[in-house]
Amino acid sequence: MAENKQQLNPRAERLQADIDALAGMIDGSRPGYTRRPFTPWYRESRAWLAGRMREAGLTTRIDAASNLIGFLPGADPSLKPIAIGSHTDTVNGGGRFDGIIGVLAGIEIARLLKETGTVLRHPLEIIDFTAEEPSEFGISTVGSRGMVGNLTPVMLELVDAATGTTLREAIAGQGGDPDRLAEEARKPGDVALYLELHIEQGPVLERTATRLGVVSGIVGIVRAKATIVGDPNHAGTTPMTLRYDALGAAFERLCRERYEADVVGTIGKISNEPNASNVVPGKVTFELEIRSLDPEVSGRVFRLFEEEAARVGQARGLRVQVDKLSESSAIRVAPDVLSVLADSCAEVGSWRELPSGAGHDANQMAVIAPIGMLFVPSLAGKSHCPEEWTDTDEVADGVRALAGALLRFDERAVLGERG
Ligand code: GLV
Ligand code: MN
Ligand code: MN
């Protein structure tokens, strides 16, 4: 089929119009460009995306995990699909590009295939994964976990404390079918290849004046929730030596720097009860995460944290509980995938290989398929904030490189054998 393929040239103004359209479907009561999963704004954007997918010639469906999937048949029905995906949920106060350009890239490529009459050998799936960012249920990559059979029954019963809804209910409310997750879960070999275009979310490409990044590996993430229970008491009359101060313990002992090279740890979410200036904190709950490309290192740091938490709890007479919420494996991208991505990038502009410190749906898809990821620059390395920015021509170059890689991969005889 190689002979009917030509270069696919994305239309920058069409991509920008799509980015702008999604940037308008946000929760106005929250800062920045906030579109949390399972909300009216998410439902609105999902309906809009499904419409764009159908215009591009894809059939659409919602799978058991509530992912939106656009499908285009290939010329060879014996081949497994190549999937292109990312996410359109944002963090609270997030930006207009993280995840979003990956889904829009897939839709633009489908449009270009249609407009140029290009027929792929492989079927093509464009996927908008549900809830990639840490959700109100404490876990991230909800949809891609579900797609590969990593959404456990325990995870489905996690509760959004603000609404009392379980994750199971939220997925069902968004058109998914949690009871069919196991049946629909994809197995190694079910997907020929997974590709994702994303903003870098860091400063390397911009600082080195490089147009494109070929992702060499992605960090794994351990997330946990720690609860420290002390004893609430009067802040004026309780002597320092007689306090069971849950918040003091968290900050004095547990936030200490004890991380080694190539690993980062963050406590980014915290709640303190009763949270009054004149009461000794009685209960502190916080969520922490540890990220590394080396699973041995993140495992060791997490064990250190657990030991330290137990030691501090005992020394201070506090009850400390640490519950692991989730763990995603770090991945390394296969050399043959890297070399095809590099060839495609070289046709578009300058490129370099770099690892990803951010997690992606690709971490989950790697359980069942070879994966490849491309980055485009992030202005000032900023992400997860309203200032997140990538120029339209940079997004278009990323789409062009992704499309070129898709055509190259599509011509290969065997894909997915490593799944
Ligand atoms: C996703 O953006 C993550 O890295 O947390
Ligand atoms: Mn993302
Ligand atoms: Mn993100």
pLDDT tens figures, 32-88: 999 999 999 999 999 999 999 999 999 999 999 999 999 999 999 899 999 999 999
- Between 191-195, 314-318, 347-351, the lowest mean confidence (pLDDT) is in 314-318
- For residue 100, the ligand closest to its alpha carbon is 2
Atom of ligand 1 nearest to the CA of 357: 4
Mean residue pLDDT across the chain: 91
Ion ligand 2 residues within 5 Å by Cβ? 98-99
What is the predicted pLDDT for the residue at 280?
85
Backbone angles phi, psi at 320, to 5 degrees: -120, 130
Task: Give residue 258's pLDDT.
Answer: 43
Whole-number Å distance, alpha carbon 90 to ligand 3 midpoint, is 7
Higher pLDDT, 328 or 47: 47
Q: What pTM does this model have?
A: 0.89
Report pLDDT for 297: 81
Tokens of 115: 């407009």
CB 394 near ligand 1, within 6 Å:
no
* Residue 358 in contact with ligand 1 by CB distance below 6 A: yes
pLDDT at 5 (0 to 100): 56
Amino acid identity, residue 38? F
Cα 269 to ligand 3 centre (Å): 15
Phi, psi of 146 (to 5 degrees): -60, -40
With b meaning 16 or more CB within 10 Å and e meaning fewer, what string describes 293-315? beeebbeebbeebeeebeebbee
The response to whether residue 133 sits with its C-beta less than 6 Å from ligand 1 reads yes
Average pLDDT rounded to a whole number, residues 341-360:
95
Tell me, what's the pLDDT at 259? 43
Confidence check: pLDDT of 3 > 70: no
How far does residue 383's CA lie from ligand 3's centre (Å)? Answer: 7
Tell me the mean pLDDT in the region 384-404: 97
Give the closest residue to 146 by CA, choosing from 85, 218, 226. 85
H helix or E strand, kind and range, residue 268: strand 263-273
Ligand 1 atom nearest residue 384's Cα: 2
Give the model's pLDDT for residue 249. 60
Identify the pLDDT of residue 300.
82
Per DSSP, 388 falls in state -
- Give 4 or 249, the one with higher predicted confidence: 249
Q: What is the Cα–Cα distance from 288 to 270, expressed in whole angstroms?
A: 9
Check residue 355 and give its pLDDT. 92
Q: 360 alpha carbon to ligand 1 midpoint, in Å?
A: 7
Is residue 81 within 8 Å of 66, Cβ to Cβ?
no
Neighbours of 319 (CB within 10 A): 14
**Angle at CA 370, nearest 5°, toward 369 and 375?**
120
- The CB of 348 under 6 Å from ligand 1? The reply is no
Give yes or no for residue 289 CB within 6 A of ligand 1.
no
For residue 83, how far is its CA from the centre of ligand 3 (angstroms)? 20
Closest by CA position to 330, among listed 223, 220, 221, 419: 220
- Lay out the sheet containing 220-229: strands in order across: 263-273, 283-292, 220-229, 319-328
Binned at pLDDT 50, 70 and 90, residue 299 comes out as confident
pLDDT over threshold 90, residue 237: no
Identify the residue with better confidence: 113 or 247: 113
Local confidence band at 416 (pLDDT 50, 70, 90 cut-offs): low
Cβ contacts of 161-169, under 8 Å, gap ≥ 24: 161/136, 162/136, 163/136, 165/38, 166/137, 167/135, 167/137, 167/139, 167/142
Tell me if residue 73 falls in helix, strand or coil: coil
| Higher pLDDT among residues 306 and 36, named by residue | 36
Q: Which residue has the tokens 């490089």?
A: 210
Query: From the CA of 91, how far away is ligand 3's center (Å)?
Result: 7
**Selection from 265, 251, 270, 126 nearest residue 196 by Cα:** 126
pLDDT over 70 percentage in the chain: 92
Mean local confidence (pLDDT), 322-347: 95
Average pLDDT in the 246-260 region?
49
**Is pLDDT at 125 greater than 90 in this prediction?**
yes
pLDDT of residue 1: 40
- String of b and e for 377-398 (b: at least 16 CB within 10 Å)? bbbeebbbeeebbbeeebbbbb
* For range 93-101, the mean pLDDT: 97
- The pLDDT, as a whole number, for residue 360 is 95
Average pLDDT, stretch 250-264? 50
- Residue 250's pLDDT is what? 53
- Report how far apart, in Å, the C-alpha atoms of 383 and of each of 92, 96, 316 are: 12, 9, 38
Residue nearest to atom 1 of ligand 1 (CA): 359
Q: Is the pLDDT of residue 141 over 90?
A: yes
Which pLDDT does position 179 carry in this prediction?
Answer: 98
CA of 361 to the centre of ligand 1 (A): 10
Instruction: Specify the pLDDT at position 292.
Output: 86
SS3 at position 236:
coil
Alpha helices, DSSP H, located in 95-208 = 100-116, 142-147, 153-156, 167-173, 181-184, 204-207
How do strand 124-129 and strand 68-72 relate by DSSP bridges? Answer: antiparallel
Q: What value does the mean pLDDT take over residues 127-133?
A: 98
Is residue 169 very low, low, confident or very high in pLDDT (cuts 50, 70, 90)?
very high
Quick one: average pLDDT of 216-238?
Answer: 84
Q: Which DSSP helix (H) or strand (E) runs through 296?
A: helix 295-316
Cβ of 139 less than 6 Å from ligand 1: no
Predicted confidence (pLDDT) at residue 255 exceeds the cutoff of 50: no
